[in-house]
Each structure stands twice: as C-alpha cells, then as structure tokens.
Chains A and B, each alone.
Chain A
Amino acid sequence: MRETHFFKWIGFMALAMILLLPQGNVRAEVSGKVIIFNAGSLTMPLAQMEKEFEATYPGVDVLREAAGSQQCARKIIDLKKPCDIMASADYKVIDKLLIPNYADWNIRFATNQLVLCYTDKSKYAGEVKAKNWYEILARKGVIWGHSDPNLDPCGYRALMVLQLAEKYYKIPGLYKRLIANRPKENIRPKSVELVSLLQTGNMDYAWEYLSVAVQHGLKYTLLPDEINLGNYQFDTFYSQAVVKVTGKKPGTFMDMKGGSVTYGVTMVKDAPNREAAIAFLKYMLDPQGGLKILKDQGQPPFIPCRVPTKAMKSSLPKPLQNLVEVRD
C-alpha cells in the first residue's frame, strides 16, 4: 500500500514539473526574455534602462550578463550561448569577431573617455592633477594598474593613453618608465574589478572610463582631449599609439591602433527573441530613452546613433532605421 502511494506522489511531482516548464512563445506580442551580453562599463546604465523598459513592457524580462567585451563575443562564438543583443565597449570587437557570421550590423551609440581614478586614501591624492599625474605614477611605492589589454578594451586603451602622453608632453621614454613601475600583478581581467581594489586600499590609482568613475563615485583626473581617447576629432593623433595584444592563438600577437572610445551594439543573427530585442533596441537608441540615461551617467551618447554605410542602414530592422544616421 505504502509503495503505491509513493509512486502516485512521484507521478504527481513529474506532472507538476512538466506543467511548470516554460511554455515558449505562445503569444505574438512582445514578451519573454531578452538576453543582453554587455561590456562591464555598461552595466549601470543598462540596469537603469532595464528598469524603465520593463515598466513599459511588463511581459518582457531583460537578462543582462556583463563581461569584458571580448568575452561577450566568445560566449556567442565558442559557447554558442543564446543571446539577443551584444553591446561592446569597442565597436571594433563586433566588426572583427561577430560580423559576418554572427551579426549583420553594428550601431555606434556612445563614447567615453579614459580617466585616472583614485580615492582620498590614495598615495599623493592631494597633489594629483592633469599636469603631474604621469610623474606621480612613476614614483616608487605608488601602486597603480589597468585591466588586461588582451581581454578588455579598457586595458589596451590605458596603455595607449600612456603612449600618447609621451608624445603630447614630449617626454621621451615616459611610457617605458611608467610601465616599469607597474608590476604585472597590478593587472586585472576587467577594468571594473579595479574599482574594488581602489576602494579597499589595495591600489592607489587605476585607469577607468569616465562613466565608471562617475557611477562608482570615485575621484578622478580628467586628461587633455589629445590623450583621453574621448574626442574623435583627434583620431589621427590617437592612431600614433600602437599596443601589442595577443592574437588568435597563444604566442601570436597583433597590433591595436589607437582610436576614440566608441561603443557598438548589435543584435545576434539567431537571436531567440527578435521582436522583444528590437523593441529594447528601439528604446535604448531613443534620445528620450536609453541615450538619455547614458548621458546622465557620464557616457556621452551619439544623437542620433551612427552606422558607417547606407547598405548597413538598410539592413537594420525597420523600427531602428530612423534612429540612426550614416556617418563614418
């Protein structure tokens, strides 16, 4: 007798589990999950966007996964993880890794710039300025770091700033001298991880995007436009900086050339939830919607957003086409 009860119970549990399984896309209107892989530096503005978007579309659940931009691409290419939208801190990552196999287009939607972050407990915090930061970073006993140039665009960009500083301030050998004062141990995979090192007093200075500094309430030194990678009018000057990063396999390398910090976003070709993803992008790229949030959080958006060619503009989903302009 006991055993039949037991089996009945098991049968009941199995039935309950089948009923509780997600039912897939039954309804036609915008609903379901939208999966976004995003660069770490976009985490806070996207969190805010998620809140606003879900308030308008209660049926949609936005799921965000933050990582280094390269890692986001890896998750799509190698791990075949389902993903609707990928937002990168360097639009070139999308161009290089995702187009043409995993995505068709790439919208540039925001800029940023590099700043040197610190806290009031940092060594020489009282004297650091736009004029003497490089001199302080060269001092013995000052612990400063940046993220891994092989994994995170913020990492190679930090190195570019140092190279450009050598040219801009006309101090030969500055780059080498600075790097010599930064042991490998001070490198972290993602730039956002350096924030907690600053806050716990394990590090004095760290290279971050301006937006990250604003969002985390850190102190920071603004640098001249010629070296902060934030103004595309200086792209020719920026392109003098060249950083060696790892190539396609261990032991190989490739050169990254300096350029302004430009964020890119795309929708993955086999996005599981196209309609909802397009609805989110439409909100995100709207000057009254997502772009406004970016602006408020220290990440100047392009208004309107940009695509490089007419052909790309016409390949965009219809609802997005009038939100972008063709501009190189």
Chain B
Amino acid sequence: MKREPFFWISVSCGIVIMAFILLPLIQMMSAPSAGMLKETIQDKDVVRSIWLSIYTAGLAALISFVFGTPLAYLLARHDFRGKRLVEGIIDLPIAIPHPVVGIAILSVAGKNHWFGQILAELGVRIMGSVTGIVTVLTFVGIPFYLNATKAGFEAISPRLEKVSRSLGASMFSTFARITFPLAWRSMLIGIIMCSARAISEFGAVVIVAYHPMIAPVLIYERFEAYGLKYSQPVAVWLVSISLILFLLLRILTLHKVEEQ
C-alpha cells in the first residue's frame, strides 16, 4: 500500500521531536566521567538531597491521592453549577510561574497573614522546612493527579456502579469493589505524573526552602558555586534514579493489566 504524504510528514515531525527531547538529555547524561559519577554518589550531601527529593515528591503524591481521589470521583460523576470553575481552579497551578507559586505560599505562611499566624501558634513552619517543600510540591503536583484520575473514573460506565448499588452494596463498598479495581491504573498513572512533576520542581521550592536542599536545588547550588562539571553528575543521578523508579511503576502496571 502506498503511504500518503501525510504519513511521512507525521513520521518526520516525530523524528524531529524525539531528537529535540533526546539530544540535550543524552548530551547531559553522557558528559560526566564514570569517576566523577562515583565520587558524586559517595557525597553525603548528594545522597541526602536525592533521597529528600524522592521522599517529598512521594509524600506530595500520597497527599494528592488521599485528598484528590474523592474530588476526582465527584467531578467525574456529578454535574453541578460551577463545575467548570472548579476544574479551572484545579488547572491553575500548572499555569502559574513557579517563583510566583513560592511567593504566594510564603505570603500566606508569613506572620502578616492570619493563616500564617495560626500556623505559627501551632508551631508549623513553612519557610525552610520539609513541611514547606511538601506543601509546594503538592501544590504543583495535585492537578496532574486529579486530571488523570478523573479521566479514569469517567471511562467507567456509571451503570456498573448502579447495578452494584441496586443489589444492595453501600456506596463505599461499590467504590472499593467495582470502581477502584477498574480505575486504579489511571490512579497509578496520576500518582506517577504527580510525583514526576513534583520531583522536577525547582523555582517554587528554592523560594520557600533553600535548605534543606532537594536535588534540583543542590544542582543549582553546585552549578553556581563550582560550575557545570560538578552539577552535571548530580543531575545524572537524579534523572537516572527517577527514571528507574517511574519505569518500575509503569512495568508493574502493564504487567498487571495483561494478567487481567
């Protein structure tokens, strides 16, 4: 069969995009020598910052999961006045420039704001703390979780749930036994998207918390203080470790689906 020109246009666009994404990444990943990489991963500060990155991004995803799932379900199943508005608000964190996110969070957390005063009385500190980092990462990550999960719920026919309810199952039990087993894959994708977004955040975090340093902040600090040579290896480690984690999650998901 003769391919139409449109096919070839699509293929060449695809190749251009692949090269566009991969070329700089490959250049960065292959720049540091093996010796430098080894030296870097033995550096306690590096290990600590990568661990902090993974752990705070994971927490952000967990918080999004706990608080986001009910909202995603609500949005997928119900129509109400102002739903569009709610959906627009959910997408806001994607559109706001990152430093603005940081400043906005700090301005609510400071003494000049009533909310900040409550936090201070409770002994919660946002500036320069792990709490602050998780707050920022949740802020930037939660839209990705909500959108992926909502799409997952929307793809399940409400009739299945109605059948379950009509046979006497409670709302919770319907969710646990019908909806969740069908939607968990989208939820997992949502968690991956959310933590991927969180692990890459820099601009907002550096304003809220410079110390303790997450990996992107450490990469920035290394770059400024010592130059490219010492920041690239940290970047390589962060990218490799997160890639492996996300790949593992993906493989896990695909595997389970084939079994089903």
Contacts and interface: CB of A to CB of B under 8 A. Distances in A.
A246 interface: yes
Interface in B188-234: 206-207, 209-212, 220-230
Contacts of B207: 193, 196
B157 interface: no
Contacts of B225: 70, 150-151, 246
Contacts of B103: 196, 200
A154 to B, nearest CB: 14
B48 interface: no
A327 to B, nearest CB: 32
A184 interface: yes
Most buried by B among A78, A183, A246: A78
B110 interface: yes
B33 interface: no
- Name the interface size band of chain B: 20 to 34
B211 A184 contact: yes
A186 B221 contact: no
A187 B212 CA distance: 10
B224 A188 contact: no
A284 interface: no
Interface string A248-263: 1111000000000000
Contact of A249 (B107, B209, B220, B230): B230
Contacts of B107: 200
B116 interface: yes
Nearest to B127: A202
Nearest to B43: A250
Interface in A208-229: none
A178 interface: no
A158 to B, nearest CB: 15
Contact of B211 (A70, A185, A197): A185
Contact size class for A?
Answer: 20 to 34
B227 A201 contact: no
A200 B112 contact: yes
Interface in B93-135: 103, 106-107, 109-113, 116, 126-129
Nearest to B111: A201
Given A148-B210, A196-B106, A201 B226 contact: no
Contacts of A151: 221, 224-225
B236 to A, nearest CB: 15
B228 A78 contact: yes
Nearest to B125: A185
A197 B111 contact: no
B110 A202 contact: yes
B218 to A, nearest CB: 10
Nearest to A251: B43
Interface string A115-134: 00000010000000000000
Contacts of B226: 246, 248-250
A148 B112 CA distance: 25
Contacts of A189: 206, 210, 220-221, 224
B5 interface: yes
A203 interface: yes
**Max chain B C-beta neighbours (<10 A), residue from A78, A196, A250:** A250
Nearest to A72: B224
Contact of A187 (B5, B210, B227): B210
Contacts of B106: 196-197, 200, 202
A193 B99 CA distance: 11
A176 interface: no
A126 to B, nearest CB: 16
Residue picked from B103, B106, B225, B226, most chain A C-beta under 10 Å: B225
B224 A202 contact: no
Contact of A201 (B110, B211, B223): B110
Nearest to B129: A185
B224 A74 contact: yes
Interface string B17-46: 000000000000000000000000001010
Contacts of B112: 121, 199-201
Interface string A160-195: 000000000000000000000001111111000100
Contact of B223 (A74, A188, A248): A74
B111 A202 contact: yes
Contacts of A63: none
Nearest to B227: A78
Given A74-B224, A77-B227, A185-B127, A202 B210 contact: no
Which 10 pairs of residues, A with B, have the shortest CB-CB distance? Answer: A185-B128, A201-B110, A201-B111, A201-B112, A200-B110, A200-B107, A202-B110, A184-B211, A202-B127, A78-B228
Given A3-B5, A189-B221, 8 more contacts: A74-B224, A185-B211, A196-B207, A197-B106, A197-B110, A200-B113, A202-B106, A249-B230
21 contacts: A74-B223, A77-B227, A78-B223, A78-B228, A79-B228, A121-B111, A150-B225, A184-B211, A185-B210, A185-B212, A187-B211, A189-B221, A193-B207, A196-B207, A200-B107, A200-B112, A202-B111, A248-B226, A249-B230, A250-B43, A251-B43
